[in-house]
Structure 1
């Protein structure tokens, strides 16, 4: 599915281009700490973990307990996971591929 055209503009293009220039995890920490609050960064990380667990068919209750996410957040992530722009699927597939390569 295509991304929402309302998201596309020169400011977001510049932001995403900047993110693509980051070379390692430490640079990500430094940049994101400056550009977002700790709570915002943790919320993004939480949503990614929720998506991973949903894809593994973990129950809402277990996800809420494991991540601290509300059922509203879990529901929103699930909607995006299955009816969104396929961004979660894309990154979760890539993360799974990387994990498979790292396992001897």
Structure 2
């Protein structure tokens, strides 16, 4: 039986991952986040996570793959993976994007 949307993947749930999540929740400022991620991740790991979040934001706003590649440099494989997570994942991107930009338009403006 599969897990429902929004449920924590039991393969991920353990004491060390709980500790990591609690550590992230303890950060209070953008500067603290930078300090923590600088110590925790390589620069390329951090850039990859930032890129995936921007890909998710752009997909949700209705941008084309070509627009997303031009802005982020992400591969079409990465864009497809993020799109799959947006459609069938645990709703993590949705939660974060809703909180970062409540009420933001979902479609790009065509000027």
Query: What TM-score do you get using the length of structure 2 for normalisation?
Result: 0.86
Higher relative contact order (CA 8 A, sep 6+): 2
CA distance in 1, matches of 2:65, 2:103: 26
| Count of aligned pairs | 100
- Equivalence for 1:38: 43
Greater than 3 Å deviation, 4+ residue runs: none
Deviation for aligned residue 1:4? 1.4
Q: Which has the higher helix share?
A: 1
Q: Which runs of 5+ in 1 are unaligned?
A: 100-104
Q: Which runs of 5+ in 2 are unaligned?
A: 105-111
Corresponding position: 1:61 with 2:90: no
| 1:10 aligned to which of 11, 15, 18 | 15
Corresponding position: 1:95 with 2:100: yes
Which whole-Å deviations, capped at 9, do the CAs of 1:13-58 have from their partners, x for residues lacking one?
0011011111101110011000100100010000000000000111
- Provide the alpha-carbon RMSD of the alignment: 1.5
Deviation for aligned residue 1:97? 1.8
Secondary structure at the aligned position of 1:8 is classed as coil
